[in-house]
């Protein structure tokens, strides 16, 4: 059993590798920089760009059974450089899927899609598994296109695909992530380190979030779950904790023992519209597959803070 | 006003050019072979592969107002060479859309999509504008992906796109077209020329068809119609005449004065499933946009035979 993880050096990829290190699985990790990944038996690190078709092709020797495709040009970076998004999020990703399919062993492919496929103007009455896709960002548009390819190739019986739409995953390390929603993560680091922070959305902004630990549990579950339970579209929007920024600040303050007064609000209308207007969320498809959110806000905050503290 | 037509040397492209030649419009035609296109004032022929990004970029000087994108690796050819489909039907097409968007003049883009986006197993109760997409062929999968890009770029306000899903268009000239549904057209030529023909589907096989003349009327209408009437998805499945092969053979025999006994049936289960099991079709979205089918079977046959005879 060999698991290929793309984007293995990224925020989610590193957490996934640390969980897979506890198993007996053979793991191939690919990313541009893997120098900081702890070595473990069964781990093969391949430092390469996903667009390097020759290197990628060499990895598919017929023994890759499972793939977690995390590598992507993220939202803000894709918006700034649509050509880069097209190169990685479309072309390199299709090449990856084609190589996976050509092996002939119908590998399980878990694709990290995004709630950005839904678009900006979400229905006030809430989002569910029937909500039509209206992506506005290049990132969401390209991810929606690959969802179609994942379903088509699964229908053809050449891969066994599952696309998971990830909500906001917290707490990403501060710094340039290329994600427009980075403020959600920055808030965790600020309160954990007792630093003042100005949120670019209002106290009433409501978001869907999940801890990276819970996200990784869902990815690992998706590697082995019964795809007979997946819908014909092979897509599931992950469940998430639905919370206002004010509630999140209160819980973070309470969990860290720091003051909620550290946080100021200076709403940016664009960010508020794109990330602060998430309505209620129903995810029966993902739940039927066995996917879960963090349980409640307190558990989510504890999970996220534990990852921050462990990473020091 | 400048209209760019890709795939201008193809079956539909040539008919479209002959209609546009009757107007005052400036037309840029691009295809690999345009030697046989009649010259007319206002026509610029560019012999190039759509994948030639530099040549394509030179055409977009800011004055291209309208685009009809017909160029594609068609169904059977895409199935035989998925990499070629990816190169033309995805990558070159996205490049075309990006160039159109970069002009800044929000050009109308009419994209020739296909009923293949619906997939093979169509609901017995009929297809309508809400039928989910379940493409199985590479061609349909790639066309569905571009429908998503067309809608996304229109939502972003950088193009004014309309995707039209074409049914079987008759009657293509005999010869290798790369289309698995070529038998529908070959039947017209056989009966018109009083030749024996064996259909690879049963007499009861039911198909959605449209004459190329009617198809071109719809494409020209789509160049100027009010996109406010288009749905948020910017997609319309074209109306079509729904007919059994037996009915079509009878009408062709009657219209040509030849015997229906010229036609034998040797059904191929794959072709019967993919092209002979089309249920009833409702197309209110296209009708609201002003799109029409041929009117009735007799008119469709007359339109198709007129094009065959004119092309001699």
Does residue A171 have a cis peptide bond before it, meaning omega lies within 30 degrees of 0? yes
The pLDDT score that the predictor gives to residue B121 is: 87
* CB burial of residue A277 (10 Å; 0-12, 13-18, 19+): middle
- Tell me which chain A residues have a C-beta less than 8 angstroms from the C-beta of B140: 152
The pLDDT score that the predictor gives to residue A4 is: 98
- Tell me which chain A residues have a C-beta less than 8 angstroms from the C-beta of B141: 148-149, 152-153
- Tell me which chain B residues have a C-beta less than 8 angstroms from the C-beta of A155: 119, 134-136
- Tell me which chain A residues have a C-beta less than 8 angstroms from the C-beta of B82: 98
- Chain B residues within 8 Å of chain A (Cβ atoms): 82-83, 86, 90-91, 94, 98, 119, 132-136, 138, 140-141, 144-145, 148-149, 151-153, 155-156, 232-233
* CB burial of residue A61 (10 Å; 0-12, 13-18, 19+): exposed
**Could you say which DSSP state residue B63 is in?**
-
Residue in B94, B145, B236, B111 with CA at minimum distance from that of residue A153: B145
CA–CA gap between residue B232 and residue B163 (Å, rounded): 11
Tokens 């002009």 appear where?
B103
Cβ distance B152 to A135 less than 8 Å, yes or no, reads yes
pLDDT tens digits for range A15-28: 999 999 999 999 99
* Most B-contacting residue of A145, A150, A285 (CB-CB within 10 A), to test interface: A145
**Could you say which DSSP state residue B99 is in?**
H
Tokens 């077209």 appear where?
B177
* Most A-contacting residue of B98, B142, B148 (CB-CB within 10 A), to test interface: B148
Tokens 């088509």 appear where?
A152
CA–CA gap between residue A95 and residue A114 (Å, rounded): 20
Of B86, B119, B148, the CB nearest to A141: B148
- Give the CA dihedral B87, B88, B94, B96, nearest 10 degrees: 130
Tokens of A71: 């590598």
**Could you say which DSSP state residue B89 is in?**
I
CA–CA gap between residue B223 and residue B29 (Å, rounded): 15
> From start to end of B158-298, where are the E strands?
160-166, 168-170, 197-199, 206-211, 235-237, 241-244, 263-265
- Tell me which chain B residues have a C-beta less than 8 angstroms from the C-beta of A138: 152
Q: How far is CA A170 from CA A15, A179, A201, A302, A307, in A?
A: 12, 12, 17, 11, 9
pTM above 0.90?
A: yes
Compute the nearest-CA separation of B77 from chain A (Å).
17
In the three-class reduction of DSSP (H, G, I as helix; E, B as strand; rest coil), residue B168 is classed as: strand
- Which helix or strand (DSSP H or E) is residue B187 part of? helix B182-192
Tokens of A152: 């088509």
Q: How far is CA B252 from CA A165, B301, B309, in A?
A: 51, 7, 14
pLDDT tens digits for range A231-270: 999 999 999 999 999 999 999 999 999 999 999 999 999 8
Q: Note whether ipTM > 0.85 here.
A: yes
Residue A151 burial (CB count, 10 A):
25
Cβ distance B94 to A98 less than 8 Å, yes or no, reads no
8 Å CB contact between B122 and B98:
no
Compute the nearest-CA separation of A276 from chain B (Å).
20
Measured CA angle at B175 (ends B169, B179), to 5 deg: 45
pLDDT tens digits for range A21-79: 999 999 999 999 999 999 888 999 999 999 999 999 999 988 999 999 999 999 989 99
Instruction: Give me the sign of the Cα torsion angle A159, A160, A165, A170.
Output: negative
**How many residues in chain A?**
312
Tokens 């939502």 appear where?
B155
CA–CA gap between residue A140 and residue A133 (Å, rounded): 9
pLDDT tens, per residue, chain B with 312 residues: 899 999 999 999 999 999 999 999 999 999 999 999 998 889 999 999 999 999 999 999 889 999 999 999 999 899 999 999 999 999 999 999 999 999 999 999 999 999 999 998 899 999 999 999 999 999 999 999 999 999 999 999 999 999 999 999 999 998 777 777 889 999 999 999 999 999 999 999 999 999 999 999 999 999 999 988 899 999 999 999 999 999 999 999 999 999 999 999 999 998 998 888 999 999 999 999 999 999 999 999 999 999 999 988
CA–CA gap between residue B234 and residue A17 (Å, rounded): 42
**How many residues in chain B?**
312
Q: Please give, one letter per residue, the 3-state secondary structure of chain A.
A: CEEEEECCCCHHHHHHHHHHCCCCCEEEEEECCCCCCCCCCCEEEEECCCCCHHHHHHHCCCCEEEEEECCCCCHHHHHHCHHHHHHHHHHHHHHHHHHHHHCCCCCEEEEEEEHHHHECCCCCCCECCCCCCECCCHHHHHHHHHHHHHHHHHHCCCCEEEEEEECEEECCCCCCCCCHHHHHHHHHHHHHCCCCEEECCCCCCEEEEEEHHHHHHHHHHHHHCCHHHCCCCCEEECCCEEEEHHHHHHHHHHHHCCCHHHEEECCCHHHHHHHCECCCECCHHHHHHCCCCCCCHHHHHHHHHHHHHHCC
Cβ distance A155 to B148 less than 8 Å, yes or no, reads no
Domains observed in chain B: 2-168+209-237 (3.40.50.720), 169-208+240-280+295-310 (3.90.25.10)
Nearest 5°: phi and psi at B299? -65, -40
Residue in B121, B114, B113 with CA at minimum distance from that of residue B279: B121
The pLDDT score that the predictor gives to residue B208 is: 96
Cβ distance A90 to B86 less than 8 Å, yes or no, reads no
By C-alpha distance, the chain B residue nearest A156 is B136
């Amino acid at each position: 059993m060999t698991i290929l993880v793309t984007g293995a050096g990224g925020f989610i990829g590193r957490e996934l590798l640390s969980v897979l290190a506890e198993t007996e699985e053979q793991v191939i990790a690919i990313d541009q920089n893997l120098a900081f990944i702890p070595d473990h038996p069964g781990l093969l690190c391949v430092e390469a760009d996903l667009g390097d078709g020759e290197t990628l092709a060499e990895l598919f020797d017929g023994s890759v059974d499972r793939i977690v495709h995390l590598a992507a040009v993220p939202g803000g970076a894709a918006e700034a450089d649509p050509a880069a998004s097209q190169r990685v999020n479309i072309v390199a990703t299709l090449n990856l899927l084609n190589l996976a399919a050509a092996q002939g062993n119908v590998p399980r492919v878990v694709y990290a899609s995004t709630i950005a496929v839904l678009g900006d103007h979400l229905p006030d009455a809430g989002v569910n598994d029937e909500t039509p896709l209206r992506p506005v960002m290049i990132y969401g548009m390209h991810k929606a296109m690959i969802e179609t390819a994942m379903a088509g190739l699964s229908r053809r019986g050449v891969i066994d695909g599952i696309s998971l739409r990830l909500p906001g995953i917290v707490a990403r390390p501060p710094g340039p992530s290329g994600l427009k929603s980075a403020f959600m993560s920055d808030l965790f680091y600020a309160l954990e380190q007792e630093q003042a922070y100005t949120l670019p959305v209002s106290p009433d902004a409501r978001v869907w979030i999940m801890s990276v630990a819970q996200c990784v549990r869902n990815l690992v579950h998706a590697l082995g779950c019964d795809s007979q339970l997946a819908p014909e579209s092979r897509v599931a929007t992950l469940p998430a904790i639905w919370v206002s920024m004010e509630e999140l600040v209160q819980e973070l303050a309470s969990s860290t023992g720091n003051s909620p007064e550290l946080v100021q609000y200076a709403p940016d209308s664009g960010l508020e519209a794109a990330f602060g207007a998430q309505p209620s969320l129903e995810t029966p498809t993902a739940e039927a597959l066995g996917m879960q959110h963090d349980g409640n806000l307190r558990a989510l905050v504890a999970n996220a803070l534990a990852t921050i503290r462990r990473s020091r």
